[in-house]
Amino acid sequence: MLIYSLIPARSGSKRIKDKNILMFRGKTLLELAIEQSLKTKKINRTFVTTDSKKYQEISIKTGAECPYLRPKNISRDKSTDLECFKHFLIKLGELNIKKPDIIVHLRATYPTRSVKLISRCINKFLSQKRIHSLRTIIKIKHNMQKMWFINKKKLLYNPITFNNEEHSLPFQSLINTYLQTNCVDIISVKNTIEKNSMTGKKIYGLKTNHNFDIDDIEDFNKINQ
């Protein structure tokens, strides 16, 4: 079973300039993610995909493989993970690097992620023979069955349940709601990327008790105290 990690690190963040190389406790976020991957024994090779020459140099110096620069047209604000991962597999083929069975998706924006948790996720994924992907999740207080969307006519609707009466039920009667933490994602290549999906049809949720993903400066300041 061949396992690679992939750390996406584009340079054009709008909310925080150069977010992926912010300094956190003496190292950049990108360096921390690379080191976490390198210390995880079951990860065979650690790759970074970036559109930045500067980020590429940091990655290689820290010990990751970064053999190409990602095109700008798939490194924009609205570019998707699927575009990035499909391009990664294409480049592996061009570089005659063997395609992995599993990819561990590690975002640079989660600096407090532990090697122990990465290993736990991999072990859980390997033990669940029929799942296509795994995502770390956390239980949230606000239930999605109590949430509303609003349409162009200012009318409320809930696309999750399509049952407006559920908004009047007590919380004890509702299904627990979980948020993806963006800490660790694991995917089976043949069941996800090769089928134009980042998740596949069978997604395992591994519960955690923390959510420290950095999306904006408030998130960064909160964990960098």
DSSP secondary structure letters along 192-217: TGGGT-SS-S-EEEEE-S------SH
Which domains, from first to last, does the chain contain?
Answer: 3-135+181-207 (3.90.550.10), 144-173 (no CATH)
DSSP E strands in 39-140: the ranges are 45-49, 102-105, 133-139
Write down the pTM of the prediction: 0.92
- Predicted confidence (pLDDT) at residue 221 exceeds the cutoff of 90: no
Model pLDDT for residues 105-152, shown as the tens digit of each residue: 999 999 999 999 999 999 999 999 899 999 999 998 888 777 788 999
Model pLDDT for residues 155-200, shown as the tens digit of each residue: 887 777 656 666 666 666 677 889 999 999 999 999 999 999 999 9
23-39: average pLDDT: 97
